[in-house]
Amino acid sequence: VLPYFRASKLRLGANRNGPLWNAKGNICCAMNMAAGQSGDPEKLNLDQLVNRVRKLWDNSPQPVKSFPWNRALENFIQLILDLFMAVVKYLSVPLLAVSSLSEMSYCAHEKKLFLVPVPLLIGMAISDLLRETILDLSPLLKDAEVPWHLIAIGIFFTVIKLPGPYYPYWGRLFIPHFANGALWRTLWFAFLWYRKPKKASEATPSNDSVNTGLSEPNKL
C-alpha cells in the first residue's frame, strides 16, 4: 500500500510541474500584470486632459482670461437660490393649507377636533419665541437681505411635521398641529419681512416729490 501512495504523490507532483499547471501560472501572472498596469492609462489620460486644459487656457485670448469667472459663478449660485426661494414662497402656502386641512379632517374623524386650537396656539408661541431669541443672539439678521432665521425655523418645524402619520395616536393628534401653528406664524413673519422693502421704496419717491414741490415755489 505504501508504494502505491508514494507513486500517487509523485504523479501529483509531476502534474503540478506539468504544462497545465505552468499555463495556469502564466495566466495568473498575466492577470496580475494587467491589474498592475491598468491604472497607468487612466493616469496618463488624466495628465493629458490637464495638460490640454492648461494649453487651452494659455492660448485663450486676454478678454477670456480677464473675465470675472468667480463673480459669474457667485451670480449663478445666487440666481439658483433666488429661483428656489421663489418656488418655496409660492408653493409653501397651498401645501401647508392642504396638509393642515388633511390633519384637521383626521382629528374630526377621530372626534378630537376640539383639541386642535391648543397645539396650534402653542406652536405659534414657540415660533415667536424662537424668532425673538435668534434675533437677540444675532442682531445682524434684522438687516439681512434674506430671512435666514425664518427659513431655519420653517425647516425645523417641517421636519417635525413630516413624520406625522408615523407618530403614536396622541402624537398624530397634537404634533402636526403644533408644527402647523409654528409654520403659519413663520409664514406671517416672512410676509411682513418681504413687505418692508416695498414700503421703504414707496416712501422714498413720495418724500422726493414733496421736497421738489416745496423747492419749486422757493425758486419762483
Could you tell me which residue, 182 or 142, shows the higher pLDDT? 182
Could you tell me which residue, 168 or 66, shows the higher pLDDT? 168
Sequence-separated contacts (24+) of 60-63 with Cβ below 8 Å: none
Could you tell me which residue, 143 or 114, shows the higher pLDDT? 114
Mean pLDDT of 6-28: 48
Contact 156, 185 (CB under 8 A): no
Could you tell me which residue, 120 or 40, shows the higher pLDDT? 120
Set of cell numbers at residue 156: 425645523
Mean pLDDT of 107-134: 90
Q: Could you read off the pLDDT of 118-130 as tens digits, one per residue?
A: 999 999 999 999 9
Rg (CA), the chain: 36
pLDDT at position 72: 87
Task: Mean pLDDT check: name the lowest of 39-43, 113-117, 147-151, 173-177.
Answer: 39-43
State the pLDDT confidence band at 9, using cuts at 50, 70 and 90.
very low
Please tell me the distance from the alpha carbon of residue 116 to that of residue 173, in angstroms, as a whole number: 8
State the pLDDT confidence band at 49, using cuts at 50, 70 and 90.
confident
State the pLDDT confidence band at 48, using cuts at 50, 70 and 90.
confident
Contact 172, 112 (CB under 8 A): no
